[in-house]
A = this chain, B = another copy of it.
Amino acid sequence: MTAPTMNTAEQYALITRRLAELNGASCERLRQLLSEGKSPSFLWSHIGYFIPLIKFADFVRAGGEVVLEVVDSYAFLVNYKYPWDQVRHRTIYYRSLVTAVLNAIGVPMSKVTMVDQSSYQGNPKYLLDFWKMCTLCSQQDLRSTGQEVGAATMLSPMLTPLVQELALEHLGADVELGGTDQRGTFDLGQRCLPQLGFNPRAHFMNTLLPSLTGGKMSSSHPAHTKIMFLDNPAEVRAKIASASCPARSTQDNGVLPIAEHIIFPISEIWAYNSGRAFEGVRPRHSYHRRAFVADGAPAGTLFSIKTSEASNPQAYYRNFSAYQYLERDYVAGAVQPENLKEAVAKALNMLLEEIRSDYEQSEDWVSSDWIGYPEDWSGPRDRR
């Protein structure tokens, strides 16, 4: 499917907005596919963040389809602690979570395919390609892909960059999307796939959302520095309330990036979707737009922030059609930290409410959470 009203330059711009390309070859590869009128297939294999999931909406809008790999083997190889059966339960958890998040964002599921990584790794062609790739890489090549593999003492994490890049060929995907922490693995794929005789792939990287303290987000950081998809409304409000958010400053600000990378892009997707009948988009999104945009806001508004000024004790809304206007007003002091925090917490809670509600209605998802993560299960206690 090619987006009917778009030329290839528009498709390219839409696909690559807010992304860093890996290198010139990535750009060239994508431009070529689009100029041939082909629908690019996108692969995204790291689950857990809104930002890449939001990018899917652009990919689909540009006429592409998304292959979402559920990386059971990868997760098993990189953890070397949890047994395979437990990891398999986590795949149910991830499939459920990603489906709920994509629905909440408004990405049409008819354009998304989910594939368990282990489901195709048993085929003889894969095995041979895997052995071949192992002969193309030195141990140091793999350690150089990133900090996690570089620091590993066990064997299995060394295999994960190979497994990740081979997926592109075996899932027939043209483009891979990952965080900027994937640069080393993407470099490996850029080198090795052509050495195996496969078409080179395009690799693009999305920004990583910073922590609520303003620094780098990390899975090893304490829970209060990040908002989880299943946090309840009070947790979200409390985490945002205690987040780093210095007045008039973007420095070490943990709240502005949520507006920039999550709220504005999602609101833009909803605005776009409301003018189209996108297959698979659930109607409840039109309701939720109210969480982001005030009644009576001018056309084009993507985010409204309730604020108050000394000269006008009555609350009123400032309406923004793009993130840079919010940042400008914030730095100027026209939007105070407490105004920003309240609006962001409210918007996030409306967004997460859909995800929480899907979770509570899905026995499969809840039980996969419980069985897959027994030591840190965070679901409703009465379900246990």
Contacts and interface: CB of A to CB of B under 8 A. Distances in A.
Interface of A: 73, 76-77, 79-80, 84, 118, 121-124, 126-128, 131-132, 134-142, 152-156, 158-159, 162
Contact of A135 (B121, B124, B132, B154): B154
Secondary structure at chain A's binding surface: helix, strand, loop or mixed? helix
Contacts of A131: 73, 76-77, 84, 156
A84 B128 contact: yes
27 contacts: A73-B131, A76-B132, A76-B135, A77-B131, A77-B134, A77-B135, A79-B135, A84-B131, A118-B128, A122-B123, A122-B124, A122-B126, A122-B127, A127-B127, A134-B154, A134-B156, A135-B155, A137-B156, A138-B153, A138-B155, A139-B139, A139-B153, A139-B155, A139-B158, A140-B153, A141-B155, A155-B162
Nearest to A136: B80
A172 B137 CA distance: 32
A203 to B, nearest CB: 21
Contact of A118 (B77, B122, B126, B127): B127
A149 to B, nearest CB: 11
Nearest to A79: B135
Given A76-B135, A77-B134, A135-B77, A155 B127 contact: no
Nearest to A121: B127
A124 B84 CA distance: 13
A269 to B, nearest CB: 37
